[in-house]
Amino acid sequence: MSQVNAGASANYTFYKRWTNGWATTREATNATSNADTGAGPRGRNARRDNGSDFEIDRSVIVFNTQSIPANATVSAVTLKWFRRTERNEQNSTPGIYFCPVSATGVDSGYYNQAYFGTEVGYLQNTYSYPSGGGDPQVWADVTLTPSCIVKAGNTLLGVRMGHDYLGSVDFPGNTSKENYMETENTGNAHPPYLVVTYTTPPAVTTGAASNIENNSATLAGNVTDAGGGTVSERGICWSTSANPTTSNSKATAAGSTGAYSVSAGSLNPNTLYHFRAYVITENSTQYGADQTFTTDTTPTVTTSSPTNVGAITATGNGNVTDDGRGVVSERGFCINKTGNPTTADTKFTAGSGTGAFTAAITGLLPGTKYYIRSYAINGVGTTYGANIMFMTQGGAILFNFL
């Protein structure tokens, strides 16, 4: 939860227009408009002696709310209004209304009734004159609708008297009557200001995946801002579908803000996963960008026909064409006399890694039929190439691909 005072001291500016001639219309463009900077912002409605003209003051106050982030949620707004002078000669209580102003330029359009939106706050006139009352010289708190705040910009708040706002003047006869409320401007000690209470969501980014294996990976995130709240949980969530949430698989990390990593386990081999960092505060749950990784699988290896076949030796030929996104820690050939040999049978290693490889096959018997297969091993498991039969010299030399 954050709070800012907007409009105090140098952040506060106001513009005011008073206009005569509202006999049939309340639009500033149809009346005589004059600037008036002799007093602070006010709402004013006065009956003139000729019985046909009215003087109406409308003020526009510019509050600097640029420090409120654009993604903030405003929960409460209080206008601090110093009740400097008040008059109610008609002994009614119209009060003043505060309205958002949609005009963007400081010109007569500011004061045109069309630019004054629906009221967001009201302060009732409680003083009578001349029978009683006077200048209260006290602060008033006016609750405003939070939607009136312009985040990351200036908030324009219009001030107008109740008679003006309601579109009717109820002053009878031709006597001079006046209703108004006024506060101080920047030259005095009590300029109006806004107290804005808001919350901002936390911010989190998704890092990279590392240490990827067939069934696990290390996933990273970073909580860059708690958003004025308290971090109750942070971590990584993952799924085989895009944009996973905390309802999918997840792993939590201790701490609040800063970088962190978790281990994602129980994954399936050779599978594309999506993952996102997340953070939870009392204000909201936020996610980082969707990232992906693919778990490891077994390597791909091929077997070619042996060469240099003699009575007791031969040369095995193989090729690891894909490491399965893991490290091929061992490769080679295995042989037996019955078919589909494995590494549990006689084997001949040929280093590690990918690419073509050979190995000397020794200890064979003359004129004997053998089966040979290449193999490759990574962190996921062992893969075999094709099963090939050959016969050593001392009888007919045959090759048969099975």
Distance (Å, whole) CA 32 – CA 19: 5
pTM exceeds 0.75, yes or no: no
pLDDT in tens, 174-218: 455 666 677 766 556 778 888 999 988 999 999 999 999 889 999
Mean pLDDT of 36-56: 56
Greatest Cα-to-Cα distance within the chain, rounded to the nearest angstrom: 136
Strand, coil or helix: what is 340? coil
What is the share, in percent, of the chain residues with pLDDT greater than 70? Answer: 71
Q: Is the pLDDT of residue 34 over 60?
A: no
Quote the pLDDT of residue 155. Answer: 87
Residue 65's region, left for phi above 0, alpha for psi from -120 to 50, else beta, is: alpha
Short-list 217, 202, 274, 185, CA closest to 7: 185
Q: How far is CA 187 from CA 39, 190, 191, 195, in A?
A: 10, 9, 8, 20
pLDDT in tens, 336-368: 999 999 999 999 999 999 999 999 999 999 999
Q: What is the band of 29 on the pLDDT scale with cuts at 50, 70, 90?
A: very low
Beta-strand relationship, 272-280 and 233-239 = antiparallel
C-alpha gyration radius of the chain: 41
Q: Domains of the chain by range and CATH? A: 2-199 (no CATH), 203-294 (2.60.40.10), 300-401 (2.60.40.10)
Quote the pLDDT of residue 370. Answer: 97
DSSP state of 116: B
Quote the pLDDT of residue 33. Answer: 44
pLDDT in tens, 294-352: 999 999 999 999 999 999 999 999 999 999 988 999 999 999 999 999 999 999 999 99
Quote the pLDDT of residue 168. Answer: 47
Mean pLDDT of 386-399: 80
- Are 378 and 328 contacting, i.e. CB atoms less than 8 angstroms apart? yes
Short-list 220, 219, 216, 324, CA closest to 268: 216
pLDDT in tens, 139-150: 889 999 999 999
Place of tokens 């004025």: 228
Q: How far is CA 311 from CA 299, 361, 374, in A?
A: 32, 11, 21
Q: What is the band of 369 on the pLDDT scale with cuts at 50, 70, 90?
A: very high
Quote the pLDDT of residue 390. Answer: 96
- Are 212 and 292 contacting, i.e. CB atoms less than 8 angstroms apart? no
